[in-house]
Amino acid sequence: MSPRTESRLPDAVRIREVGPRDGFQNEPEVIETGDKIRLIDLLSSTGLNRIEVASFVRPDVIPQLADGEQVLRGIRRREGVRFSVLIPNRRGLERGLELRERFDEASFFLSASETHNRKNVNRSVEQSLNDLELSIPVARQAGLGCTSVIATSFGCPYEGRVDPERVLSIAERLVAAGSDEIGFGDTTGMANPVQVGAFFRGARDRLAGVELTAHFHDTRGQGLANVLAALQQGVDSFESSFGELGGCPVPPGATGNVATEDVVSMISEMGIETGVELPLLIEASAAAQEVLGRRLGSHVLKAGPIDWR
């Protein structure tokens, strides 16, 4: 039996680039709207076919994302590239629907742990679920794809271990409400590969027919190892952030998402199709580095792609 058959590796993966939202929101200095638009346009030219470009959170909560409407109006629409926006609640959805023609997917979110959810959105998990169960059908009626991301799926910095049964029960309610994709977030980099493998084995059985997306952070250096563990369970959908931008804004020390170019480099070297042109992606991360005026954490940005000559 070949290693590919034993591991059940997919032949191709889909990557949602979340840097323009999840990545930018953690930057202390406000990024100019024109720079955001330029960077998103660079990303959409790389072959990435899903990009999270904005959020409709209250401007006073995350000032960095207050220009979401201007960004949506300014970015270039490319054939085959689907844009998504983060929707925090019904009011955010109403704002988003005013620009419905500028994006394709709505991403909803909540945390699996009570403490993180309250610190993040000042609600209980049940309150968040009740709101999403009302909002998701509205988004579907508007013709939007609906993704629901469950933060702290693999561990909470305040509560410790999170019961997978709790996470999957939340996921089932979100699917029943109309989500066609469920993302599981390792929000502060607490997951390990054995845990990830066991989790997605159970998730695949419980959520048959639902697109399962993995979202890992490299806070403790295990991001790519966790990507591999998810791949070995047949997961073929991932979220990542160019340049390793981002991290959870709630607890201190929760550093960036696993870098998109590191994920693309590893997966491509394993013979799995990504559809992404790595040199163009590296150029986009280098441009972000210039805009931010600091070195970014991506390994491939520093070392460059592998040259087999």
- 251 touches 158 (CB < 8 A): yes
- Check which CATH number belongs to the domain holding 76 and give it: 3.20.20.70
Q: Please provide the average confidence, as pLDDT, over all residues in the chain.
A: 94
Q: Does residue 305 form part of some domain? A: no
Q: Does residue 190 form part of some domain? A: yes
Given the residues 51, 248, 258, 300, the one annotated as active site: 248
Total domains in the fold of the chain? 1
- 222 touches 189 (CB < 8 A): yes
pLDDT band at residue 159 using 50, 70 and 90 as cut-offs:
very high
Q: Does residue 106 form part of some domain? A: yes
Residue 267, H or E segment = helix 260-269
Residue 42, H or E segment = helix 33-44
- 274 touches 218 (CB < 8 A): no
Q: Does residue 2 form part of some domain? A: no
Averaged pLDDT, 159-164: 97
pLDDT attached to residue 1: 34
- 44 touches 10 (CB < 8 A): no
pLDDT attached to residue 246: 86
Q: Is residue 7's pLDDT more than 70?
A: no
Q: Does residue 92 form part of some domain? A: yes
Helix, strand or coil, per DSSP, at residue 126? helix
Q: Does residue 309 form part of some domain? A: no
Q: Is residue 107's pLDDT more than 90?
A: yes
Q: What are phi and psi of 25, to 5 degrees?
A: -65, -20
Q: Is residue 99's pLDDT more than 70?
A: yes
Q: Is residue 4's pLDDT more than 60?
A: no
pLDDT attached to residue 250: 65
What is d(CA 300, CA 259) in angstroms, rounded to the nearest whole number? 9
What is d(CA 178, CA 89) in angstroms, rounded to the nearest whole number? 15
Q: Does residue 9 form part of some domain? A: no
> pTM here?
0.94
Share of the chain above pLDDT 70, in %: 95
pLDDT attached to residue 254: 63
Averaged pLDDT, 35-41: 98
Domain span holding position 291: 15-300
182-235 confidence digits (pLDDT tens): 999 999 999 999 999 999 999 999 999 999 999 999 999 999 999 999 999 999
| DSSP structural state of residue 65 | G
pLDDT attached to residue 40: 98
The answer to whether 146 is a known catalytic residue is no
What is d(CA 224, CA 190) in angstroms, rounded to the nearest whole number? 13
245-303 confidence digits (pLDDT tens): 987 666 665 678 999 999 999 999 999 999 999 999 999 999 999 999 999 999 999 99
Averaged pLDDT, 96-101: 94
Residues 243, 258, 282, 65, CA torsion sign: negative
Q: Is residue 172's pLDDT more than 70?
A: yes
Share of the chain above pLDDT 90, in %: 87
226-241 confidence digits (pLDDT tens): 999 999 999 999 999 9
For the chain, the farthest-separated pair of C-alpha atoms sits apart, in whole angstroms, at 57
Q: Does residue 87 form part of some domain? A: yes
What is d(CA 126, CA 111) in angstroms, rounded to the nearest whole number? 10
Q: Is residue 74's pLDDT more than 60?
A: yes
Averaged pLDDT, 113-117: 97
The neighbour count for residue 213, using CB atoms within 10 Å, is: 23
